[in-house]
Amino acid sequence: MPRPYPPRWTPLALLLLLGAASSCSSSESAEPNYRVGSGIADITGPLVDVLFSGYSRPTHIANGVHTRLSARAFIIGELETDRALVFVTADLLNVSQEIRLSVVDNLRAKYGDLYTLDNVVITATHTHSSPGGYRHDGAFREAYFDAVVTGITSAVEDAHESLEPGRILLGRGTVENAGANRSLVAYRQNPEQERSVYPDDTDRDMVLLNFVTPDGSIGVLNWFAVHPTSLTYDNSLVSADHKGFAANEMEARLRGTGGATESFVAAFAQSNCGDVTGNLNLDNTGPGVDDYDSARIVGERQLEVAASLFESASEPLLGGVDYRLGLVDFVDLEVSGDATGTGPQRTCFPAYGYAFAGGSTEDGGGHPLFEEGLLERDPSIDSLVELVLAPPPVSDALRECQAPKPILYRKAQQPPLPIGVATVGQLALVFVPSEVTTMSGRRMRETVARALGDDVTDVVIAGYANDYAGYITTPEEYLVQQYEGGHTLFGRWTLPAFRQELERLATALADGLPAADDAEQSDLRGEASSQPLGNDFDEPPADGAFGDVIQSPADSYAAGDVLTVSFWTGHPDNALRPGAPYVEIQMQDGTELVTVATEADWETQARWTQAGRVIPPYDPLDPFAEPPPPINEAFTMRLDWQIPPGTAPGTYRVVFYGNEKPEGAESRAFTAETRSFAIESGGP
């Protein structure tokens, strides 16, 4: 069924684009005061037979691609020294310390001590439509991990190689109707006096940095808090969701125009979105007619503000680059009375609550045996968990520490966690490995701003940074055990503990002193066994051969039509294609063929299916079921392309890059193509 088109430019955006060149040119006349660089690389991994990482449902399994996944990197360096901060945002649910360790190892091998664990920050956009398997603490797949590490490393290397003198312009804007508080029951537990200070129950502010060189803008980096869950657990296609839409569209629209360079990078990073959903109807739907339309709309609303700030940002960052990144053991950490407001307390060993299994109702919920707000233990539930998971035993002392959370299960181990604070001129960035709720983020910002002093005018929470450790709710929110409280791992005093340690780092930064860091870095590399990707071999199709066209295109199409073609192929994950397309839609331009779209474009959807493949229905009594194993049957790769308005009339074809893995042999690539077809009218 046709989907609504992503608009190419709204009237507002067109006006902003026309004005962008004059704004950028005026800023270019000022003297550069930083070294800046940007880079982007592909981190797309497996497409089939791998569980998505976001919804924890055994039936939520990938079978294709909607958009590819990317890593976007920026380096901000002082002009007269080697001091620099690396900031990466990746289209993943989260990142791991092992990813960061491997990236830093790669950078050290090439650049020495320029980039280390002291100044490299890797964050995730938190798209729930990225496959799992890249983390060592789950169903680990080394080939996927390697693809992610290679892509992030490449993005940082590109940023380093492009370093040049430039300026950083700061802009602030408000994004309307792009997020709603999905946990109002918890949010309203915060003191009314505190809530009355803020106009909304979510942070609607976007903070944007425009990196301007004498050649033009090399990129923008912005932070806005909203969960990328527009694509629900019914979606089976790998996708960067609404933040990916916004980033890809801004790059496509601005590269080489309006004061932006040809290599312009647009990163839509994540902030304190712990209780903020893009499903504006608060029932796992909206605001669009379907998931993809909703993702486009929420992405477009972020894009409109980013485009406005790209044109209008004029406040230069002025001052040095400094940072304090460290490791903290949050298990049984003493939290001072100043941090808690109720006297000294201690954090707990991490444990998940019943509400964690219940999931966020507004974003689709979780296991039907659970619901948010449960505060009493159920012996039958505890027995089921012990039977299915066999988790480590839970002591009475831990239950008391985590109260009022009824513990579902506890973690087996918990390594120290990376946190950090950095300043670039008057801007401060706060790095935490968690999902921070709206009010928790506000309190964090207050703590860091107070410690850094009046020289700092803006504090940004950069969540999902360098690792992942569940949620951070306020102590008041924790007491009612909504989903976010059930996933706040270290107990009621988690937020005060993070504020205490962030204040310590920020104070050290402000005083120009080193920050004590006694925790030992964990490293699971080499310890986790890897599961294979793909299948053992590909059985040839009974009615054809690999590369054969199953469904050919029609003779002609017009804008608004949906082109559908399909091919016989093998398992796509037998040969990952990082940075290389699976499908190209090519137009005949004289004697040349020009690619006008690939599977990375929003208007395309590519699916790999097997006739004999059966995904069992979701079993509410077995939430920890494993997905069915791969089968060797040949795949059909089906491409749907909704031809967008403005597509040039002409002669086209579709080219597919597949692979087949004969029994007892290595996978081998092939290229297939359809017959030509015409697009008669490009539409308006």
**Inside any domain, residue 83:** yes
**Inside any domain, residue 257:** yes
CA-CA distance, 72 to 219, in Å (whole number)?
10
Digit-coded pLDDT (tens) for 357-396 = 999 989 987 888 888 999 999 998 899 888 888 899 999 9
Query: Best-predicted range by mean pLDDT among 2-16, 180-194, 627-641?
Result: 180-194
3-state DSSP assignment of residue 385 = helix
Q: Tell me the residue length of the chain.
A: 684
Q: Which domain covers residue 161, as residue numbers?
A: 12-323+460-469
Mean pLDDT on 409-428: 97
Single-letter residue type at 505: L
CA-CA distance, 309 to 671, in Å (whole number)?
43
pLDDT for 276 beyond 80 = yes
CA-CA distance, 484 to 185, in Å (whole number)?
11
If we measure between CA atoms, which residue out of 83, 67, 85 comes closest to residue 123? 85
Longest dimension (CA), the chain: 77
pLDDT for 22 beyond 60 = no
Q: How confident is the model at residue 31 (pLDDT cuts 50, 70, 90)?
A: very high
The residue among 425, 451, 469 that closes a domain is 469
Domain count, the chain: 2
Same domain, 563 and 464: no
- Confidence at residue 620, expressed as pLDDT on a 0 to 100 scale: 62
Same domain, 223 and 90: yes
β-pair partners for 583: 656
CA atoms within 13 A on the CB side of 444: 33
The residue among 437, 469, 501 that closes a domain is 469
Cα-flanking dihedrals φ and ψ of residue 274, to 5°?
-50, -35
pLDDT for 131 beyond 60 = yes
**Inside any domain, residue 379:** no
232: left (phi over 0), alpha (psi -120 to 50) or beta: beta
CA-CA distance, 408 to 325, in Å (whole number)?
32
The residue among 451, 469, 487 that closes a domain is 469
- Confidence at residue 682, expressed as pLDDT on a 0 to 100 scale: 57
**Inside any domain, residue 511:** no
- Confidence at residue 683, expressed as pLDDT on a 0 to 100 scale: 56
Tokens 């009621």 -> residue: 492
Can you give the CATH number for the domain in which 665 is found?
2.60.40.2300
pLDDT for 500 beyond 50 = yes
CA-CA distance, 227 to 127, in Å (whole number)?
8
CA-CA distance, 454 to 457, in Å (whole number)?
7
Report the predicted TM-score, pTM, of the whole model to 2 decimal places: 0.95
Same domain, 464 and 595: no
